[in-house]
Amino acid sequence: MSILQLLKNKNNERFSFSIELIPPRRGMNLDNLLGLIEEVVPFRPLWVDVTSHSADVNYLENEDGSYKRRVWKKSPGTFGICAALKFKYGLEVVPHLLCAGFSKEETEDSLIDLNFLGITDVLALRGDKNYERAVTKDRTVNLYASDLVKQIVSMNEGKYLHSEGGAATKFSIGVACYPEKHLESPNLDYDLKHLKLKQDLGAGYAITQMFFDNSTFYNFVEKARGAGIIIPIIPGIKIISSHKQITSLPKAFNLSLPLNLTSKIDQAKASGAGTESKIESKIESKTESEVGVEWAYDQCIDLIKNGCKHIHFYVTQTAEPLVALLKRIYI
């Protein structure tokens, strides 16, 4: 069942959630990720997204001192993980599909693989621009997520790249959006114009970049509706778990954190809560992760009160903070 159908079918009064996972680094096995999933499955996520990563360029030194250029993915395996989660746990899965680093031909092959696996939901993304790969005459690329949406919709109409026609696929397409605007966008309206284009070309829903102040999300949704965007806009929430993230997240994702949140995380770090000496002295103060869970919990309750019955969680490394938050929501 497509994500959109799942959202429509669920009792609107009920809170539901989805999660987004990152494949393990090349060479690692799936144990950690499957362990994480097993902790979350009892809470019945409506679906699981698995991120995709374009290749990095590495320079390896040859014996003669010259360099060999190698292009490789640090975290491959998106489709394999989706298939494993679908067949092992019966989960609905959404692989991410990127423009960056892939030709249209490679994208078509990936979509054929997904179709054969019975995976019919994808999140269509541009990916980050830092990827350089020579575009030769016989290679075609999707420059923007909207181009990728167009390609997927063509396949849904039975139109393939280099053949007369073929079996129509049934992909349901999600896209990304940015309450605090995309990094490269000169302003929010410019970004919304392109979000509308993705909708008009066939995207059925949008998931937001993480945000930490709900008013940013409400303002964004209001502006999006004003710009003619009618597809569901699903809020994306990240639980802060360490002090380091208060500087790394803004840098990586072009977003801001409210002063109230950063002060609490600063305090948690200064108090040393959770460290052995503090545990022994029995002084009660919150850990950085506990502050993060509490903040995300307050965000979720406010979103639910304001009519958002589905929330998407960005999960990394461990399920512990999300499980703590879900337990509080479901009490």
Of 127 and 292, nearer to ligand FAD (C-beta) is 127
Of 144 and 271, nearer to ligand FAD (C-beta) is 144
Q: What is the DSSP string of 233-292?
A: EEEEEE---STTHHHHHHHHH-----HHHHHHHHHHHHHTTTSHHHHHHT-----HHHHH
Q: Please report how close the Cβ of residue 305 comes to ligand FAD at its closest, in angstroms.
A: 23
Burial of residue 309 (CB within 10 Å: 0-12, 13-18, 19+) is middle
User: How far is residue 267's CA from residue 183's CA, in Å, rounded to a whole number?
Assistant: 30
Q: Please report how close the Cβ of residue 314 comes to ligand FAD at its closest, in angstroms.
A: 8
DSSP state letter for 307: T
Of 55 and 324, nearer to ligand FAD (C-beta) is 55
Q: Please report how close the Cβ of residue 208 comes to ligand FAD at its closest, in angstroms.
A: 6
Of 54 and 120, nearer to ligand FAD (C-beta) is 54
Of 125 and 152, nearer to ligand FAD (C-beta) is 125
Q: Please report how close the Cβ of residue 133 comes to ligand FAD at its closest, in angstroms.
A: 14
Alpha-carbon torsion angle 32, 37, 40, 43, nearest 10? -170
User: How far is residue 71's CA from residue 300's CA, in Å, rounded to a whole number?
Assistant: 40
* CA atoms in the 13 A half-sphere facing the CB of 191: 21
Q: Please report how close the Cβ of residue 230 comes to ligand FAD at its closest, in angstroms.
A: 18
List phi, psi (to 5°) of 248.
Answer: -75, -35
CA max distance for the chain? 74
Q: Please report how close the Cβ of residue 127 comes to ligand FAD at its closest, in angstroms.
A: 4
Of 194 and 223, nearer to ligand FAD (C-beta) is 194
What residues make contact with ligand FAD under the rule CB under 6 A?
Answer: 51-53, 96, 98, 125-128, 144-146, 176, 182, 184-185, 190-191, 194, 207, 209, 236
DSSP state letter for 212: S
Do you know the residue count of the chain?
A: 331
